Amino acid sequence: LPLPPTFSIIFLPLIPIIAYFLIHFISNHSSNLPPGPLSIPIFGNWLQVGNDLNHRLLASMSQTYGSVFLLKLGSKNLAVVSDPALATQVLHNQGIEFGSRPRNVVFDIFTGNGQDMVFTIYGDHWRKMRRIMTLPFFTNKVVQHYSNMWEVEMDQVVHDLNKDEGAKTEGIVVRKRLQLMLYNIMYRMMFNAKFESQEDPLFIEATRFNSERSRLAQSFEYNYGDFIPLLRPFLRGYLNKCRDLQSRRLAFFNHYFVEQRRKIMAANGEKHKISCAIDHIIDAQIKGEISEENVLYIVENINVAAIETTLWSMEWAIAELVNHPTIQSKIRDEISIVHKGAPVTESNLHELPYLQATVKETLRLHTPIPLLVPHMNLEEAKLGGYIIPKESKVVVNAWWLANNPAWWKDPEEFRPERFLDEECGTEAVAGGKVDFRYLPFGMGRRSCPGIILALPILGLVIAKLVSNFEMKAPQGVEKIDVSEKGGQFSLHIANHSTVVFNPIKA
CB of 399 to ligand HEM, least distance (A): 10
Q: Which stretch binds ligand HEM (CB under 6 A): 148-156, 165-173, 212-220, 448-456?
A: 448-456
Closest CB to ligand HEM among residues 84, 442: 442
Strand bridging mode 381-383 / 375-376: unpaired
For residues 70 and 77, the answer to whether their CB atoms sit within 8 Å is yes
Task: Round to whole Å and give the CA distance between 217 and 50.
Answer: 18
For residues 497 and 173, the answer to whether their CB atoms sit within 8 Å is yes
Q: Which stretch binds ligand HEM (CB under 6 A): 347-355, 434-442, 467-475, 486-494?
A: 434-442
Closest CB to ligand HEM among residues 151, 235: 151
CB of 237 to ligand HEM, least distance (A): 30
Site string for ligand HEM, 137-176 (x = CB under 6 A): x---------------------------------------
CB of 452 to ligand HEM, least distance (A): 9
Choose which of 157, 302, 331, 482 interacts with ligand HEM (CB under 6 A).
302
Q: Which of residues 173-232 bind ligand HEM (CB under 6 A)?
A: none
Rg value, the chain, Cα: 25
CB of 208 to ligand HEM, least distance (A): 21
CB of 318 to ligand HEM, least distance (A): 14
* 359 near ligand HEM (CB under 6 A): no
For residues 303 and 185, the answer to whether their CB atoms sit within 8 Å is no
Closest CB to ligand HEM among residues 128, 130: 130
* 366 near ligand HEM (CB under 6 A): no
What are the DSSP E strand ranges found in 298-400? 375-376, 381-383, 386-388, 393-396
Element (H, E) at 469: strand 469-472
Closest CB to ligand HEM among residues 56, 130: 130
Cβ-proximal residues to 166 (8 Å cutoff; 6+ apart), any chain: 172
How far from 387 is each of 60, 377, 414, 488, 491, CA to CA, in Å?
A: 22, 11, 38, 24, 30
Closest CB to ligand HEM among residues 174, 457: 457
* 440 near ligand HEM (CB under 6 A): yes
Binding residues for ligand HEM, rule CB under 6 A, total 26
Choose which of 80, 278, 306, 383 interacts with ligand HEM (CB under 6 A).
306
How far from each other are the two terminal CA atoms of the chain, in whole angstroms? 96
Q: Which stretch binds ligand HEM (CB under 6 A): 55-63, 148-156, 298-306, 413-421?
A: 298-306
Choose which of 89, 246, 303, 310 interacts with ligand HEM (CB under 6 A).
310
Choose which of 59, 453, 461, 465 interacts with ligand HEM (CB under 6 A).
453
Closest CB to ligand HEM among residues 257, 441: 441
* 117 near ligand HEM (CB under 6 A): yes
Q: Which stretch binds ligand HEM (CB under 6 A): 54-62, 75-83, 282-290, 367-375?
A: 367-375
Question: Which residue of the chain is nearest ligand HEM when measured via CB?
Answer: 450
* 74 near ligand HEM (CB under 6 A): no
Closest CB to ligand HEM among residues 295, 302: 302
- HSE toward the beta carbon, residue 459, CA cutoff 13 A: 24
SS3 (DSSP) at 415:
coil
* 309 near ligand HEM (CB under 6 A): yes
CB of 96 to ligand HEM, least distance (A): 13
For residues 87 and 81, the answer to whether their CB atoms sit within 8 Å is yes
Cβ-proximal residues to 420 (8 Å cutoff; 6+ apart), any chain: 353, 354, 357
For residues 349 and 459, the answer to whether their CB atoms sit within 8 Å is yes
Cβ-proximal residues to 264 (8 Å cutoff; 6+ apart), any chain: 275
SS3 (DSSP) at 205:
helix
Cβ-proximal residues to 435 (8 Å cutoff; 6+ apart), any chain: 84, 425, 426, 427
Task: Round to whole Å and give the CA distance between 199 and 193.
Answer: 16
What are the DSSP E strand ranges found in 74-224? 76-81
* 301 near ligand HEM (CB under 6 A): yes
Choose which of 448, 465, 491, 499 interacts with ligand HEM (CB under 6 A).
448
Choose which of 372, 463, 482, 493 interacts with ligand HEM (CB under 6 A).
372
- HSE toward the beta carbon, residue 278, CA cutoff 13 A: 31
Cβ-proximal residues to 95 (8 Å cutoff; 6+ apart), any chain: 444, 445, 446
Strand partners, 305: none
* 118 near ligand HEM (CB under 6 A): yes
Please give the residue ranges that form the binding site for ligand HEM (CB under 6 A): 91, 117-118, 130, 137, 301-302, 305-306, 309-310, 313, 368-369, 372-373, 440-442, 446-450, 453-454
